[in-house]
Amino acid sequence: MRLPESQVAVLNAASATDEQTIDSLADETGLKPETVTQAAFELRDEGYVAVSEEERVEYDLTDEGREYVEDGLPEVRLYRAAVEAGATEDAVGMGQVIGASGLGGPEVDIALANFGRKGYGQIESGQLSADADADAEDDPESVVLTALEAGEAVVDEGVLEQLVSRNLVERHEQTVRSVTLTEAGVTLLMEGVEAAETVDRLTPEMLTSGEWEDVEFTEYNVEADAPEVNGGKTHILRQTADRVKDVLVGMGFQEMEGPHADADFWINDCLFMPQDHPARTHWDRFALDVPPIEDVPEDLVDRVEDAHRNGVGDDGDGYHSPWSEDFARAIALRGHTTSLSMRYLSGHEVGDLEPPQRYFSVEKVYRNDTLDPTHLLEFYQIEGWVMAEDLSVRDLMGTFEEFYAQFGITDIQFKPHYNPYTEPSFELFGRHPETGELIEIGNSGMFRDEVLEPLGVECDVMAWGLALERLLMLMYGFDDIRDVHGTMSDIELLRETEVLR
Ligand code: PHE
């Protein structure tokens, strides 16, 4: 009979005495305890050994416990010093006794507390008296500590618990496995067993030499404990962004790209946002201290300025407020990706566009907001627009219903809203699956003529900006967006959450 080397070693060692623990077998064979355990279980599965398990409690001295085995427990040393100073007759000044005991630092408090608890004497108004009958030399805690240090078994649970609570001893629970030969095992050994070299890997050399026929392969133990490995994975937000892109591409949209830091012209002026609009002050935007943009089409700048000043159409009316080209050319981090929509609609990115057209982006935007469970300073917007003849609000609503249904969200609500650049405008709301609250998930509308005319667009354009993080909250029930991204994110949550398909 041939068995793997480790199994043969364990069999032989186990035959030496009646019962052997994994540790004693490991000592005897020179194998690692894990290897012995595995071999023992394999032998058990073949019926050659029996493995019994017992839960054992072990007590080990802590460093402090070991120190006291050497030096004596502080209260015992205090008692000795007290006896020496004659405190069994008359009370002695506490300072004198402590000085004589050689105790210092935190030991003094430990000594005094336990001295009192054990009834070794009394301490009253700075005077210490010792009880002549106290048997400090046979202090039960000292006795147990010394026994443990010597490796002797201790049965006094009460004292052990006390030592654990004093942090002089640590309690460990352990499963001790013992291995005994079965009759089949004894017979096997008598008949003789040979150790086969075990290999855990098949090599090309073994195949060509034919050696593979003679070796024993280690068995796979698919139930063995293995360390948890947390590999890298795509962030849930990125996974969702990718899925949003797939959905929009599936709906016939093309992707827009463009700068995160852009001219106010594209971020605001093209959108008919008056230059004195509150959102354009330094409070709300992240202005960048860099040279202004150079590359803006002059004729477009002129038409946008004219729309701001005089409005568009026959009965149009502008803001008649100040408009400065320098202001428009200044650079800031974009507060929305509608800057990209302006770049594309104007023909600046991919040339003049003929209807119908559909474009989107899923990109980062930056706002000087206050952080809270639903606001971040950087977040992702799902921007999009459709250019076509004769669009209506029903097209807009239908598009959202189709889009959100792909993510299992079927109860979108619309609320009339105001944007300087769209008319009509709607905010979108969805219900949070955990809290039941309505949360804002987007903003949308039909671009006004004041926006479209300077851009040179002659048909309707419906457009929106949706918050990717809010979509995530509705999909997964997250209630604090800060758990999901940013410096405070919850790593466990991110590890556990799988993107819903
Ligand atoms: N820019 C708007 C926002 O950030 C979203 C929007 C885009 C609204 C296009 C209407 C049209 O809230």
Q: Are 258 and 252 in contact (CB under 8 A)?
A: no
Please name every residue paired with 89 in a beta bridge, in sequence order, or none if there are none.
Answer: none
What local confidence, expressed as pLDDT, does residue 197 receive?
76
Residue 309, pLDDT score: 92
Quote ipTM for the complex.
0.98
From ligand 1's centre to the CA of 249, what distance in Å? 20
Domain spanning 2-61+172-217 has what CATH number? 1.10.10.10
**What confidence score (pLDDT) does residue 232 get?**
85
Q: What is the pLDDT of residues 281-305, one digit of tens each?
A: 766 789 999 999 998 999 999 999 9
Of the given ranges (126-135, 265-274, 417-426, 438-447), which has the lowest mean pLDDT? 126-135
Phi, psi of 443 (to 5 degrees): -140, 145
Q: Are the C-beta atoms of 343 and 258 separated by less than 8 Å?
A: yes
Tokens of 16: 């030496």
What torsion do the CA atoms of 204, 207, 209, 213 make, to the nearest 10 degrees?
A: 140
Q: Of the candidates 463, 452, 110, which has an alpha carbon nearest to the alpha carbon of residue 312?
A: 452
Q: What strands lie across the sheet with 121-124, from one edge to the other?
A: 92-93, 127-130, 121-124
Q: Which of 17-21, 33-37, 129-133 has the lowest mean pLDDT?
A: 17-21
Q: Whose CA is nearest to atom 3 of ligand 1?
A: 465
C-beta of residue 280 within 8 angstroms of C-beta of residue 268: yes
The SS3 of residue 178 is strand
Domains 2-61+172-217 and 237-261+335-496 in one fold: no
pLDDT confidence of 187, banded at 50, 70, 90?
A: very high
Q: Rounded CA gap, 232 and 277, in Å?
A: 44
Q: Whole-angstrom Cα distance, residue 46 to residue 42?
A: 7
**Which bin fits 456, alpha (ψ -120 to 50), beta or left (φ > 0)?**
left
pLDDT band at residue 501 using 50, 70 and 90 as cut-offs: low
93-117 confidence digits (pLDDT tens) = 999 999 999 999 899 999 999 999 9
Count Cα neighbours of 396 within 13 Å in the Cβ-side half-sphere: 29
Residue with the smallest CA separation from ligand 1 atom 10 is 444
Kind and range of the H or E run holding 209? helix 204-209
Question: What is the reported pLDDT for 500?
Answer: 61
H/E element, 383: strand 378-388
Q: What atom in ligand 1 is closest to the CA of residue 445?
A: 10
- pLDDT surpasses 80 at 220: no
Note the Cα 205 to chain centre separation in Å: 45
Q: Tens of pLDDT along 193-212?
A: 888 877 888 899 999 999 88
336 has a pLDDT exceeding 90:
yes
Q: How far is CA 443 from CA 409, 440, 462, in A?
A: 17, 8, 11
Residue-by-residue DSSP string for 387-412: EESS--HHHHHHHHHHHHHTTT----
DSSP structure class, residue 432: -
Q: Does the structure show a pLDDT above 90 at 496?
A: no
Least reliable range by pLDDT among 148-157, 275-284, 331-340, 458-467? 275-284
In the prediction, which pLDDT does 228 show?
82
Site to substitute for ligand 1 among 262, 338, 427, most atoms within 8 A of C-beta? 338
Q: How many CA atoms lie within 13 A of 353 on its CB side?
A: 27
Q: State the average pLDDT over residues 319-345.
A: 94
The amino acid at 131: D
What per-residue confidence (pLDDT) applies to 368? 87
CATH topology of domain 237-261+335-496: BirA Bifunctional Protein; domain 2 (3.30.930)
> What pLDDT does 4 receive?
85
Region 63-89 average pLDDT: 94
Contacts of 341 (CB under 8 A, 6+ apart): 256, 359, 383, 385, 463
Q: Is 463 in the pocket of ligand 1 (CB under 6 A)?
A: yes
Q: Is the CB of 465 under 6 A from ligand 1?
A: yes
The alpha carbon of 461 and the centre of ligand 1 are apart by a number of angstroms equal to 13
**Lowest mean pLDDT: which of 237-251, 462-476, 478-492?**
478-492
- Flag the least confident range among 35-44, 141-150, 169-178, 315-324: 315-324
Q: Is 267 in the pocket of ligand 1 (CB under 6 A)?
A: no
Mean pLDDT across 263-283? 89
Average pLDDT, the chain: 92
Residue 445 CB less than 6 A away from ligand 1: yes
Domain borders along the chain are 2-61+172-217, 237-261+335-496
Q: How far is CA 68 from CA 3, 149, 450, 462, in A?
A: 51, 11, 88, 82
What does R_g of the chain's alpha carbons equal in angstroms? Answer: 40
C-beta of 419 in contact with ligand 1 (< 6 A): yes
